[in-house]
Amino acid sequence: MRARIGGIGLWGPSLPGFSASRPVLTGVRPWLDEALPPPPALLAATERRRAGLVVRLALAAAAEAVAMAGLPAAQLRSVFASSDGDGAVIHGILAALATPEADVSPTQFHNSVHNAAAGYWAIGAGSAQPACCLGGHDASFAAGLLKAMAEVQAERVPVLLCAYDAPLPEPLGAKRHTAWELGAALVLLPDDGADGPWLEAAYHATPQPDTPPRLPALRDLARRNPAGRALRLLESLALRESDRSVLAMLGGHLALRLEAAG
């Protein structure tokens, strides 16, 4: 499958957007382990009050990718991929259920579903387009990319892909450790003969490990946050270098070939 990359988004520790993070991704400036709260989401005040950190993280990355692509957000299909969803909300609900009253906040219940970020995106973007929300443990980015590429290939329409994950509170964090907050997004476009960058993807039913980022400082981020599996691809896009890489997935692997130029 082949798609053109029309927009890129990124938000994470010392990574305030893809464009602003080029010096880090290209090794010009060191990556620092510094938390960076995502900005307020593109939501009206009522929804903004309800949206938690994970939703704002996803929407920050998605909004940057769509703005770079120059396409109306309301007209884009979307795929949202997250391993853990909103762990803080799940923790809050479980803590409430452990009390004698067992009173669960309606807002927390509303935000606990795995498609919460996609729902807030649809509200903020004014979109009625199809949206898919999925999780695949450490392979969530790979699964989301495969789904988005398949939609571009089959439907011949642009698709927004957004992968995001954040740390879970204890004691959940002890069972499923995730470091930092990280969101990455791509707008994938069908083959229209325009200049690249281009991405090709093929699934193979043989296990292979992830190709790590080039920069040692980013490898820990890629290893400890499922959305960080996008960093090798984002590095190559920042460097404007063609690349071949692998994403481990479901007992097999997704083989990627990036053509940096048209």
Name the pLDDT band for 74 (thresholds 50, 70, 90): very high
The pLDDT tens digits of the residues spanning 81-125 come to 999 988 788 878 888 888 888 788 777 776 777 778 888 888 888
Structure tokens at 70: 């120059």
The pLDDT tens digits of the residues spanning 5-54 come to 999 999 999 999 999 999 999 999 999 988 787 876 676 656 666 667 88
> What is this structure's pTM?
0.93
By the 8 A CB rule, do 260 and 242 touch? yes
Residue 262 has pLDDT above 60, yes or no: no
Name the pLDDT band for 143 (thresholds 50, 70, 90): very high
Backbone φ, ψ for residue 23 (5° rounding): -60, -35
- What is the sign, positive or negative, of the torsion defined by CA atoms of 171, 175, 178, 183? negative
Is 2-194 a domain of CATH 1.10.287.110? no
By the 8 A CB rule, do 164 and 227 touch? yes
